[in-house]
Structure 1
Amino acid sequence: MTSSSDAPIPYAALDQRLDAIGRQPFRARFQLRGRDLVTAESHGPATLRWHARDLVAKRLAPAEPYKDGKQTPYRGHPVFVAQHATATCCRGCLQRWHRIPKGHELTRGERAYVVDVICRWIEREVAGG
């Protein structure tokens, strides 16, 4: 997890975390394909980062998100696919894989960390894995 500061996490640290999560069979199944890949390629990193921030703020950041554990669709947007691939899809996964405890609203630093993880995974997928 990131510190309480807003300093970005180095890519090497994110890549190590993503590689470890990606070795889990369930997480390894997720890849950007079809319409989700086209969306990621056409919208570009800045737009996808904005979408990730918005989705994280609405669906993940509250202390008790609505329908926690079921709030993230499997398809329909590159950010959704990335959330499942990176274990940032619900507060339970955030706690288990990223050591961000449940029961509190995500801090600004925690939100930034989650967005960085999601966007780095998408960046790697668009680049070819």
Structure 2
Amino acid sequence: MDELDARLHRIGQHHFRAKFRLRGRDRAVVDLRGITTVRKHAEELVGRRLAPAEPRNDGRQTPYRGHPVFVAQHATATCCRTCLARWHDIPAGHALDDAERDYVVEAICRWIAWQYAPGSPPR
């Protein structure tokens, strides 16, 4: 288990984060489009909604459903800059650099993949 796995496992133990699961239409999007396309969607959504130094509607910019990336963002605490600072030690107030964007996208996609492999790290 690497550092990201350990962090996601710890986040998954939090009562609010633990209730998120990939279900219904959100799961069907991954089934239909595939994880490669969903990763591209994650890159676009993170770039538009989370990466700016002061995102529009920060703290309220991520819906709870409508796309598997949104569900994963809440499950992994990558939904807003406050959660990124609190759970991932990525401070607010500056635009995310490429490494930070890649980290966030990897956390999201890793959680989605774990939803397909019961018994994998975080739950």
Q: TM-score, normalised by structure 2?
A: 0.93
Measure, in 2, the Cα distance between the counterparts of 1:81 and 1:128.
17
1:78-102 CA-to-partner distances (Å, cap 9, x unmatched) read 0000000000000000000000000
- Classify 1:82/1:111 alpha carbon distance in 2 versus 1 (closer, same or farther; 3 Å): same
State the one-letter code of the partner of 2:51.
A
* Identity between Structure 1 and Structure 2 (%): 62
Measure, in 2, the Cα distance between the counterparts of 1:63 and 1:44.
30
Q: CA RMSD in A?
A: 1.1
Pick the aligned partner of 1:47 from 25, 37, 49: 37
Measure, in 1, the Cα distance between the counterparts of 2:9 and 2:89.
17
Pick the aligned partner of 2:51 from 48, 51, 61: 61
1:63-113 CA-to-partner distances (Å, cap 9, x unmatched) read 000000000000000000000000000000000000000000000000000
Q: Which residue of 2 aligns with 1:28?
A: 18
Q: Would you say how many aligned residue pairs link Structure 1 and Structure 2?
A: 119
Say whether residues 1:101 and 2:91 are aligned partners: yes
Unaligned runs of 5+ in 2: none
Q: TM-score, normalised by structure 1?
A: 0.89
